[in-house]
Amino acid sequence: MIKLHDLYFKPFISEDEVDTIVERMVNDIANDMQDEVPVFVGILNGSFMFVSDFVKKYPKPCEVTFIKLASYEGLKSSEDIHRLIGLTQDLSGRKVVILEDIIDSGNTLEEVNRIFENENVDELKIATLFYKPEAYKKDYKLHYIGKEIPNKFIVGYGLDYNGLGRDLPAIYQLKTTQYMTNLVLFGPPGAGKGTQAEFLKETYNLVHISTGDVFRFNIKNETALGMLAKSYMDKGELVPDQVTIDMLNAEVEKNADANGFIFDGFPRTHAQAEALDKLMDSKDSQINAMIALEVDDEVLVGRLLERGKTSGRKDDANETVIRNRITEYYKKTAILKDYYTAQDKYFGVDGVGSIADITKRLNAVIDTL
Ligand code: AMP
């Protein structure tokens, strides 16, 4: 990730991929030009790197010139296009290929077409390295497109954010969610995740998602998801991954404006952890830490039997089911410790003691993140 001025950008298109795209465009255009000597017209400033790499790869004689237009103001493509340097040579009768770094709204292209209106060129073709179809509002034909990209602000390879970033050899994309804190609260059943999540969500203004609670809510309301989950939950087994992942994605989508999330009871399998990373990535975010409450099995069994007296949870009432849940945890879930340790994100916290003491221990970890 890089920072330009006040904003963060994440890697989007590598140097190698840009090179492959440019190469393909060179081949397509060289084939179409046959024996003509084309004039390539770069649109400054953004296209300087693209034009440079393009003509270096171009296998036949060509001419290169530039026009200089200004359109971007900060992050927005402005309607107001300034012509700073227009055409400085006569191109009548020539085959002209415009080389643009990016076409989004099409406003710059409109100005380019205006410039060429009375030039009597033999042929005017438009080639753009990047194209944002969702943003394009004009109907000029684009003859050569390097890569279609989503309507997100990018920098690098000639493109800038308020002057910075043009020198980067690869393309970076604006991170739209800048400051989320996402925690996985981890530990065996009965470790106290739910209790502690209540305090953490207040202190750090986070949305708490407990997959167990969501399933129980669905069971209570007799939804299709609830009916499906019930058969597994009653035995202390895990609900199948795809069902759980789809449910979690929906819960996160419901809270699109959150400062961050506490995931409690999720992920419980490797597939769920990967799905969570993918989901966070789609939000331009990430899991910051897995914080695990560590508690001995026998303490857990005692706590859950005690909770079962008042919680009304079937899976807390029966010692066999409780032990099965703990076994499921070690069989399927404990491997996630390695998953997050490998990313330097695992933090173990002693989960035995008073509720307030354990909260303090958790806060101490989160405050260092
Ligand atoms: P919990 O309230 O976290 O102890 O979860 C209660 C039960 O809900 C578990 O024993 C599972 O049957 C089901 N469950 C909750 N979260 C998940 C998950 N991430 N993956 C699969 N099953 C889950």
Cβ pair 70, 15 in contact under 8 A: no
Identify which of 213, 234, 246, 268 to mutate to test ligand 1's pocket (most ligand atoms within 8 A of the CB): 268
pLDDT reading at 75 higher than 70: no
- Shortest-distance Cα residue to atom 19 of ligand 1: 266
Q: Quick check: CB of 261 below 6 Å from ligand 1?
A: no
- Centre of ligand 1 from the C-alpha of residue 367, in Å: 28
Give the pLDDT confidence score for residue 312 in this predicted structure. Answer: 87
Give the pLDDT confidence score for residue 77 in this predicted structure. Answer: 60
What does the alpha-carbon distance between residue 223 and residue 343 come to, in Å, rounded to a whole number? 37
- Centre of ligand 1 from the C-alpha of residue 363, in Å: 25
Share of the chain above pLDDT 90, in %: 81
Give the pLDDT confidence score for residue 76 in this predicted structure. Answer: 62
What does the alpha-carbon distance between residue 22 and residue 300 come to, in Å, rounded to a whole number? 60
Q: List residues with catalytic annotation.
A: 193, 268, 307, 313, 325
| pLDDT band at residue 84 using 50, 70 and 90 as cut-offs | confident
Q: Which atom of ligand 1 is nearest to the CA of 266?
A: 19
Q: Which residue has the higher pLDDT, 72 or 304?
A: 304
Place of tokens 């080389």: 99
pLDDT reading at 72 higher than 60: no
Q: Quick check: CB of 184 below 6 Å from ligand 1?
A: no
pLDDT reading at 177 higher than 70: no
- Centre of ligand 1 from the C-alpha of residue 268, in Å: 8
- Centre of ligand 1 from the C-alpha of residue 249, in Å: 15
Average pLDDT across the chain, whole number: 92
Q: Where are the alpha helices (DSSP H) in the chain?
A: 15-33, 48-57, 107-116, 193-204, 211-220, 224-235, 241-254, 270-282, 297-311, 314-317, 319-328, 336-341, 355-367
Q: Which atom of ligand 1 is nearest to the CA of 248?
A: 19
What does the alpha-carbon distance between residue 96 and residue 103 come to, in Å, rounded to a whole number? 18
Write out the two tokens for 214: 């969501």
Q: 123: Cβ–Cβ under 8 A, 6 or more apart, which residues?
A: 95, 96
Least confident window among 60-64, 81-85, 201-205, 289-293: 81-85
- Shortest-distance Cα residue to atom 2 of ligand 1: 212
- Centre of ligand 1 from the C-alpha of residue 2, in Å: 38
Q: Quick check: CB of 187 below 6 Å from ligand 1?
A: no
Mean pLDDT of 91-101: 97
Q: Quick check: CB of 216 below 6 Å from ligand 1?
A: no
What does the alpha-carbon distance between residue 263 and residue 101 come to, in Å, rounded to a whole number? 41
**Pairing between β-strand 154-155 and β-strand 171-174 as defined by DSSP bridges:** antiparallel
Q: Quick check: CB of 186 below 6 Å from ligand 1?
A: no
- Centre of ligand 1 from the C-alpha of residue 325, in Å: 9
The structural domains of the chain, ordered by start, are 2-174 (3.40.50.2020), 181-367 (3.40.50.300)
Q: 35: Cβ–Cβ under 8 A, 6 or more apart, which residues?
A: none
Q: Quick check: CB of 236 below 6 Å from ligand 1?
A: yes
pLDDT reading at 337 higher than 90: yes
pLDDT reading at 298 higher than 90: yes
Q: Quick check: CB of 233 below 6 Å from ligand 1?
A: yes
